[in-house]
Amino acid sequence: MILDRKKIKEKRTGFTLPLIFSALLISGCTVADQETETVAEADQKLLSVTEPVQRDFAEISRSGVLRMITHYSSNTYFLNQGIEVGFEYELVKEFARENDLALEVVIIGDDENPYDLLNSGEGDVIAANYTITPERREWVNFTRPYNLVDQLLVFSSSVQAYPGTLEELSGSGIPVSVRRNSSYYSTLTRIIEERGLDIEIDLIPDVMDTETTLVQVAEGEYLATVADDNMFDATNRYMEGLFAGPVISRNDTIAWAIRKNAPDLESRMNRFLYKHFRFTEDRERPRRSTFLNVLRKKYFGESRQVAEYYNPDWQFQSLGIISPYDDMVKAVADSMELDWLLLTAMIAQESSFNPESKSWAGAVGLMQVMPRFVEVEYDRLYDPMVNIREGARILKEHMMHYSYMDSTNMIAMALATYNVGLGHMADARRLAIDQNKNPNEWENVADALLKLMQRRYYQNARFGFARGIEPVQYVKEIMNRYRTYEAVIALAENRQQSGISGVFGTSMSRLP
C-alpha cells in the first residue's frame, strides 16, 4: 500500500540556518498516487524542458563560468560563517579551478526541477549526490562515478521493535517514507515486486532531500526512511534518534549529471574524476586520491563545519543570516544606499570574513582596504565596522565614477576598479576604444584587461602591465557569489512565510 502524505506537521522549534533551507522544502507539493506509475513517468510530469540547450565545454569556457546545480545541505553545499563549503561544492570547484573557470552555485528552488535547470542552460552540472539509475538516464547523462554507497533502512528511535530484515519489515505496519523521484523509491518498489513483500511506502514531497527526511525520522515525524550509508553516518554523528536497519542495495554509484549533448564536458569531467576515483577488480574497495579522501573525512567524518551546521545553539540560528557581520554590513549599506549582499560577497572574496587578514601588498581587514587610500589610523582598519565603512566608501566612489552606465556595467566596473585601480581601468577602456569597442561595456573592458597582460599592449599603456586576469575573475566570482546569496535569502524568506519554525527538538545531545 502507498500512502500520499500531503500535510506535514508544523510543530518544529530551534532551526539552525542551513537546515532551514533544506527542511522547509517540504511545503506546497503533492505527488501522484498511482502505484503502477514509474519514477520516469513521475519525473516527466514535472519536466518542462525536454530538449537540452547547446552549451558544451567550449561555450562554458567562453563564458568563464561553470554553473553547479545542487541542494542546500551539509553534504552538497552550505554556508559556514559566510564561506561556501560542502563535499560536492569543493569537488566541483576543484574541477572548475583546473579548467580556469569560476564556479557559480545554482540552488534548486521549491518548484524547480533540476533536470529543467540543467537542460535549459541555467546550470551545467547537477552535483547533488545522485545515484545513477536507468530512470534518470532518460533525461541526462552521467559522468563516471566518484563514490560507492549502500542504501539502508533508517528507523526512528520511537519504533518499538526494529525489523532486522526486509521480511520482518513486511507486514509490520511501519511505513517507509521516501520521495517518488528518488532512487530509494525505485529500489524499494523493485524489492517489493521481486520478493512479494508487504512493505508500506509513505510518499513524501519530492522536494524533500534525504538530510531533511532523516531529521524528520529523528524527530519521530516519520518512522522509517532510506538513506545512503555515508549520509546516514554523517547525520548520525550529530543527531540522536536514528537507528540503522538492513541494507537494501549495495555499491550504488554516485555521479554528476550533465546534458546529453555535452560530450566534451563529459569527457573532461571523466578525466578529472578518473584521477580521484578508480574501481578495483572486485569493485569493493575503489582507489581514491588523497584529495577525495580528505573531502570524505571532512564532510562524512567528524567535522567542525558540519557540527556547526547541525548545532541548534549555533550563533546563526535566524533566517537569512549569511555571515557574522550581517548587521554591520546592513548598517553601512543602508547609510550609503548600497546592496548589503554585494558588500558581503566582496568581504567573502577579499578576506573570507577574517578581520585580521593582511595581504602581501599591505591591504588589511575584512574589505582589504589599502591604508594609503583612507584617512583612518592604521590600527583602526582592523576594526570590522571601520573597515567595512571605508571599503564601502571606496566602492561607492567608484560606482559614482561610472554612474552614467547601466547598473550591470556600473557595478562590474566599480568592482574591477576596487581590485585593480583607476589607472589600469582607464588603460583598459582606452584600449577598448582603440579596438573600436564600447568602453562602457564590461565585457569589452574585461577583454582589454586580459590584453594588458601582453607586452604588445601594455608597452603603450600609461600604467603599464596589468595582471588583468585578477580583476576579471574578481568580478565573476563576486557576482556569482552575490547571486547565490540572493538565492539563499530568497529561500529563507519563502520558508519564513510558510510559517514552519524549526526542525530540532531535543535530539541533538551528541553535539560537542
Distance CA 75, CA 236 (A): 13
CA-based Rg of the chain, rounded to a whole angstrom? 25
Question: Do you know the residue count of the chain?
Answer: 512
- Which residues, including other chains, have CB under 8 Å from residue 396's CB and lie 6 or more apart? 336, 338
Maximal C-alpha separation, the chain: 82
Catalytic site includes residue 122 = no
- Which residues, including other chains, have CB under 8 Å from residue 285's CB and lie 6 or more apart? none
Q: Are 447 and 438 in contact (CB under 8 A)?
A: no
| Chain-centre distance for alpha carbon 278 | 25
Q: Are 279 and 70 in contact (CB under 8 A)?
A: no
The residue type of 478 is I
Residue 512, C-alpha cell as written in the block:
560537542
The residue type of 386 is V
Q: What angle separates helix 407-420 from helix 340-351, to the nearest 10 degrees?
A: 30
Q: Is 54 exposed, middle or buried (0-12, 13-18, 19+ CB in 10 A)?
A: exposed
Q: Are 461 and 431 in contact (CB under 8 A)?
A: yes
First to last CA, the chain: 41
The CA-based dihedral angle spanning residues 193, 231, 270, 143, taken in that order and rounded to the nearest 10 degrees = 30
Q: Which of 37, 16, 5, 10 is nearest to 315 (CA)?
A: 16
Selected catalytic residue, list 221, 308, 350, 477: 350
Distance CA 198, CA 143 (A): 36
Distance CA 391, CA 369 (A): 6
Q: Are 503 and 74 in contact (CB under 8 A)?
A: no
Q: Are 451 and 468 in contact (CB under 8 A)?
A: yes
- Which residues, including other chains, have CB under 8 Å from residue 93's CB and lie 6 or more apart? 103
- Which residues, including other chains, have CB under 8 Å from residue 5's CB and lie 6 or more apart? 177, 202, 203, 204, 205
Which of the residues are catalytic? 350
